[in-house]
Amino acid sequence: MSEFKRSGERAADALRPVRITRNFTIHAEGSVLIEFGNTRVLCTASVEEKVPPHKRGSGEGWVTAEYGMLPRATHTRGDREAARGKQSGRTQEIQRLIGRSLRAVFDLKKLGERTITLDCDVLQADGGTRTAAITGAFVAAHDAVSKLMISGKLAATPVVGHVAAVSVGIVEGTPLLDLEYIEDVNCDTDMNVVMTGLGHYVEVQGTAEGAAFTRQEMDQLLRLAEKGISELVALQMKALNE
Amino acid sequence: MSEFKRSGERAADALRPVRITRNFTIHAEGSVLIEFGNTRVLCTASVEEKVPPHKRGSGEGWVTAEYGMLPRATHTRGDREAARGKQSGRTQEIQRLIGRSLRAVFDLKKLGERTITLDCDVLQADGGTRTAAITGAFVAAHDAVSKLMISGKLAATPVVGHVAAVSVGIVEGTPLLDLEYIEDVNCDTDMNVVMTGLGHYVEVQGTAEGAAFTRQEMDQLLRLAEKGISELVALQMKALNE
Amino acid sequence: MSEFKRSGERAADALRPVRITRNFTIHAEGSVLIEFGNTRVLCTASVEEKVPPHKRGSGEGWVTAEYGMLPRATHTRGDREAARGKQSGRTQEIQRLIGRSLRAVFDLKKLGERTITLDCDVLQADGGTRTAAITGAFVAAHDAVSKLMISGKLAATPVVGHVAAVSVGIVEGTPLLDLEYIEDVNCDTDMNVVMTGLGHYVEVQGTAEGAAFTRQEMDQLLRLAEKGISELVALQMKALNE
Amino acid sequence: MSEFKRSGERAADALRPVRITRNFTIHAEGSVLIEFGNTRVLCTASVEEKVPPHKRGSGEGWVTAEYGMLPRATHTRGDREAARGKQSGRTQEIQRLIGRSLRAVFDLKKLGERTITLDCDVLQADGGTRTAAITGAFVAAHDAVSKLMISGKLAATPVVGHVAAVSVGIVEGTPLLDLEYIEDVNCDTDMNVVMTGLGHYVEVQGTAEGAAFTRQEMDQLLRLAEKGISELVALQMKALNE
Amino acid sequence: MSEFKRSGERAADALRPVRITRNFTIHAEGSVLIEFGNTRVLCTASVEEKVPPHKRGSGEGWVTAEYGMLPRATHTRGDREAARGKQSGRTQEIQRLIGRSLRAVFDLKKLGERTITLDCDVLQADGGTRTAAITGAFVAAHDAVSKLMISGKLAATPVVGHVAAVSVGIVEGTPLLDLEYIEDVNCDTDMNVVMTGLGHYVEVQGTAEGAAFTRQEMDQLLRLAEKGISELVALQMKALNE
Amino acid sequence: MSEFKRSGERAADALRPVRITRNFTIHAEGSVLIEFGNTRVLCTASVEEKVPPHKRGSGEGWVTAEYGMLPRATHTRGDREAARGKQSGRTQEIQRLIGRSLRAVFDLKKLGERTITLDCDVLQADGGTRTAAITGAFVAAHDAVSKLMISGKLAATPVVGHVAAVSVGIVEGTPLLDLEYIEDVNCDTDMNVVMTGLGHYVEVQGTAEGAAFTRQEMDQLLRLAEKGISELVALQMKALNE
């Protein structure tokens, strides 16, 4: 159905090869290296027995995220945000998105007064870092929760469903699933979709980079995203069962 | 079709009273006070005969936005961002959205090497500040362009269409148009939609605040937004013709 | 007595038209739009039931102020201080002045352990923003105190007098009252005077912009200021009685 | 004439012992340690052959100042501003005052396109640090100008007069000249006066710390200040002739 | 010769297993993952055709480094420096050390007016992160230089020797080579040594954590370091030959 | 033994004239002006009856240091760190070194839960500011401890030995003690050595500025440093006995 030719003869509705490596580092309660093709994001889940001020005394926990990109994860070196002294608007937007997405599948009451922080650090970027981060962070968070249950700190899981994310876009008129960098740069419309394992929407963020897009195009993109996310959820399950 | 009772007997698919006051202040090239009910945003358009580094020498102009909220625009006083020394993630997210939305209807080549900065400052907040800001900023930008044309600096308008925005959401199961604060706080799903005068999408940002939402709910919300935005575009036209 | 010709045939010892609009916004305990000619400042008074560290446990309250200018309140757009990440020296100087001026007419013991914060935001600038801010902030603070008394939180008023402020200066040899921007830019000597309703001084800040000024000139300026402030206090009273 | 008893039997209208040590450090073009009793401020004047942006290409120079206080210049240790990451409002207010005061006696055209920066660092504080700083900075600036003239970089002096400063205040009803710390803390009215060698005013900054002050009190204070400054100017001359 | 029992039956004078993985990521001109036991540092070398201000027009290049640690590289989560808004003193100290160490084996004239930036990011920490970073950064820099030579941008190598680093310390009286975290925490004396391939010193940084150390102890530590570094240089060579 | 000719006919192994002036300022518990030739550093010791968070409730005290340089302490004016909004990496490195050095001769348990802060501010720089700072800070800290003992707040001294520091370096092949600025700039190898009164090492920081240095050179430098420090300790004792 597509006329735009993707790298590696990838079909318009195909994900890039996805790899999920659990226990990638040793200290974190959950540590996952997730790869969407050449995009590689290290997602760690850290459990701390305290909550931010707005949750103190509430009996509820908190799930939050931070996002970063190593300076040379990209084609040309970017500024180190720690050296520049502040996080960019893009970084803040992404880490807020990751946090909201994860909280959508957490019952904070069941988590108790503790915080899970998802650190998503991009080691190598080739498009889709935020969607890979969400998809990998879920697995890291799941591992952290498993440790809490094994250690007896939690009796019941606060995880109420899967969450995964993928980007879709229209490049030269062709709707594509899981954009890599070269496609992302050239797309007219770019959409990041976050869905639960049940196929419901957590976030939809569509942006016209060039011309505004029609309702029909949006429908095409949503269908592609739904297909991709159901595959990602299956891959999460497989990884968690290993 | 709705069971949730809105303030002032407003229908589920009705906008709040919208007022667009042009030339609200005297110095800016465009200056618009826009009101969506009790939400009041002052949008000024400033023209500067220079462009940011990434556009220098390109022959193209730039359109950008900054957003702020007066400390007591809200029910309880918020920190002044200038005093705290940085803009919040929310502020940055909103001003990036406003900038992208306006650029969607600007032909930057026709603008020439100059910058239009839209300052959107919330004097009073009651939900929907970012959508009011986009809708008002368009009128301010339009006025600024008119001045450039009248003064002979521009021969043809770089404005290629209208852009307006509205929020929609599901509160207690009822899809509602143009949420006010009390509805926004209680909604399960919150969506900001930015569209052109031709009814195409510039941005769609939907977030599940509570439960994830279904495809059917998204379709209901998109229909409501389309209705609201076509009304807002008509109001922009009316204001510009006065 | 003057040879310098002012705009609108204003006399050297005349204030610009002053307008004081109470309840300009709906959320703040006091909300006043004050206009000195084309200068327009929104002054809100916010009451919080807590005090800063140096007053905790003292039984005394605190009155403080913050000042800001919208980026396009002026002829050319200024940097947004929140975006730049810090308040300028000028901003800090002004907000410290407003705070001190208001505290001069407050009995902090009678206020009890609560804080009134005056936010003075310049919507449109044409000289004299700090003096308009002080004059308007007094009315906003007064309204906030009235609400505290009506609600029974205060039995007796902590307000011990009126406070108002005006600028005076010497332009081309002529002493002028209430400088507008074009006069301020061209003046040799610029003085901001803050006085109580009883005609006593709270602050006198005189600066030689060009040549140093004589004692005789200072006396002329102080007489002008006294005249202006007594008129402003009468206008505050009138506004508070409406 | 005074009932308040000052330390060391000082008369109400007497300065503390003033010492002006030129060439206190070796690198700066002007380097003066000035002492007003126990207040000790190191004032250095640095000449740089460049001007800030707003003076570039104007043919004019610039004179500016920075102020700092060593953390333990005071009774109890204060935060180091460099460690805290920003200068306080008080620091900025003072350094702006010093800069304006020095510019009042400089003909910037005659200075040529160069900058003189006055760094005023308080080694030991006992009240009156800003007035000592202005008085000492003048001597340091004068020395720097002399070096420019000796080296042939300047043919005529850009210094058009002397400038000095002193604080005055009312303590327990008694008007006092040159307040030391313990007097400053207890005063009702505090005024800093900056005057030229000809007895004209450069700055008058009077503040009611307790009760507002009357015109009569202001007149008393201005007379005291005039006396003190004429003595300080004489001491500057004496130091410059050594 | 040792009485302190190390993990994994390691001898007091033995390095941990060292692994050097070249081309760990794809975008950077040099990209090396170096592992000293459980310590894992990603070192990338980025070439930019520009130099910092102090080298402009000099004909010379520059070599510099930045260092960071992922928040959960350690046993407990540390603050993200980008979020906190500044780099710690420790971070700055380390990145300055890495930069100096690499410049010791670079002929900046031969490099020409370009900059090589070494980004050393700790993915997992178990002691010795700065010494691993220096050792790995050399290999990454070498790879970047090789690319410059292959592309014809450099005719002769600016690399004039090897550089590597190791930590040594005294734990419970026993001098140990290449401390892991648990040893580092408990050591009395901690020394980081940077040497060239010829066995000369680039940096020696010894610190008494507990009791001050004697000249004899320093000599023991320097011998251990010399042994370790000669082994590391051999491993660098081996890796570069693969 | 030297071929490099030092200023003032100083021998290669000679310190510059050292002056230690106690009670240089009046407020601090310890206040020492130390001079190494033209290098002049004001070291104050401030005692506060509180400890940083990591020591709270431990029964132990803390000793820490801050370092600063007045903008015109040097040949050309440097930025004021407070104005720039952050301390440089060099500043942080030095103040961390001073703090560690002082803690090496303090028994923090005996100090009790209080903090001694050493502020080391360079009034005039001519090389060796950090080593002068450490040497002077010890005397200031000793004075502060004496006051605590005299006032009965401490029964036994927490000071367990002397600490002093000196720089050594190789200039044009000649090992030199106590480098002044012109030597420091031209040296191949620069080493800062911190030792106790018993001749043990607290810190050794050697850096090859040009060519890497040999073990034999390091030995020469360490011998020179040992000689210099024993002389400095004798001077500290003499000053403390006056």
Q: H-helix or E-strand containing C200?
A: none
Task: Give chain F as a 3 state SS string.
Answer: CCCCCCHHHCCCCCCCCEEEEECCCCCCCEEEEEEECCEEEEEEEEEECCCCHHHCCCCCCEEEEEEEECCCCCCCCCCCHHHHCCCCHHHHHHHHHHHHHHHCCECHHHHCCCEEEEEEEEEECCCCHHHHHHHHHHHHHHHHHHHHHHCCCCCCCCECCCEEEEEEEEECCEEEECCCHHHHHHCCEEEEEEEECCCCEEEEEEEECCCCECHHHHHHHHHHHHHHHHHHHHHHHHHHHC
Determine contact: C54 vs chain D, CB below 8 A.
Answer: no
Chain A, 172 to 191: residues with Cβ < 8 Å from chain B are 191
Average pLDDT over residues F41-45: 98
Q: Is the pLDDT of residue E181 over 80?
A: yes
The pLDDT tens digits for C168-219 are 999 999 999 999 999 999 888 999 999 999 999 999 999 998 789 999 999 9
User: Taking CA E14 as the corner, what is the angle to CA E9 and CA E17, rounded to the nearest 5 degrees?
Assistant: 80
pLDDT at position F188: 87
Q: Is the pLDDT of residue F1 over 60?
A: no
Total residue length of chain A: 242
The pLDDT tens digits for A165-218 are 999 999 999 999 999 999 999 888 999 999 999 999 999 999 998 789 999 999
Q: Does F130 belong to an annotated binding site?
A: yes
Q: Indicate yes or no: CB of F204 within 8 angstroms of CB of E206.
A: yes
Please list every residue in chain F whose beta carbon sits closer than 8 Å to the beta carbon of residue E215: 201, 222
Closest residue to F46, CB basis, from D28, D77, D82:
D77
The pLDDT tens digits for C27-70 are 999 999 999 999 999 999 999 999 999 999 999 999 999 999 99
Chains touching D, CB cut-off 8 Å, 3+ pairs: C, F
- Using 50 as the pLDDT threshold, list the residues of chain B that sit under it: 1-2
Place of tokens 């368009």: B138
Average pLDDT over residues D166-175: 94
Question: What band does E3 get if pLDDT is binned at 50, 70 and 90?
Answer: low
Closest residue to F72, CB basis, from D44, D82, D86:
D44
Q: Is the pLDDT of residue A3 over 80?
A: no
pLDDT at position D3: 67
Average pLDDT over residues A106-120: 97
Closest residue to C70, CB basis, from B76, B91, B119:
B119
| Contact indicator for A187, A169 with CB cutoff of 8 Å | yes
Distance CA E84, CA A127 (A): 27
Average pLDDT over residues E174-197: 94
Determine contact: B48 vs chain C, CB below 8 A.
Answer: yes
Between C72 and D188, name the one with better pLDDT.
C72
pLDDT at position C46: 98
pLDDT at position A34: 98
Question: Percent helix, strand and coil across chain A, each rounded to 5?
Answer: 35, 30, 35
Q: What percent of chain E has pLDDT over 90?
A: 92
Please list every residue in chain C whose beta carbon sits closer than 8 Å to the beta carbon of residue B35: none
pLDDT at position C1: 45
ipTM value, please give it.
Answer: 0.94
The pLDDT tens digits for A34-78 are 999 999 999 999 999 999 999 999 999 999 999 999 999 999 999
Determine contact: B151 vs chain C, CB below 8 A.
Answer: no
**Choice among D202-216, F64-78, F127-141 with the minimum mean pLDDT:** D202-216
Searching chain E, which residue's CA lies closest to the CA of residue A27? E75
Please list every residue in chain B whose beta carbon sits closer than 8 Å to the beta carbon of residue A205: 203-206
Please list every residue in chain D whose beta carbon sits closer than 8 Å to the beta carbon of residue C213: 200-201
The pLDDT tens digits for C89-138 are 999 999 999 999 999 999 999 999 999 999 999 999 999 999 999 999 99
The pLDDT tens digits for D116-159 are 999 999 999 999 999 999 999 999 999 999 999 999 999 999 99
pLDDT at position A210: 78
Beta strands in chain B (DSSP E): 18-22, 30-36, 39-48, 62-69, 115-124, 163-171, 174-177, 189-196, 201-208
Closest residue to D201, CB basis, from C95, C203, C213:
C213
Distance CA F187, CA B212 (A): 67
- Closest C-alpha to E8, from E191, E178, E195, E237: E178
Question: What band does D188 get if pLDDT is binned at 50, 70 and 90?
Answer: confident
pLDDT at position C169: 96
Mutation choice for C interface testing from B25, B32, B77 by most C CBs within 10 A: B77
pLDDT at position E18: 98
Q: H-helix or E-strand containing B218?
A: helix B215-241
pLDDT at position C209: 81
Structure-token pair, residue B233:
């575009």
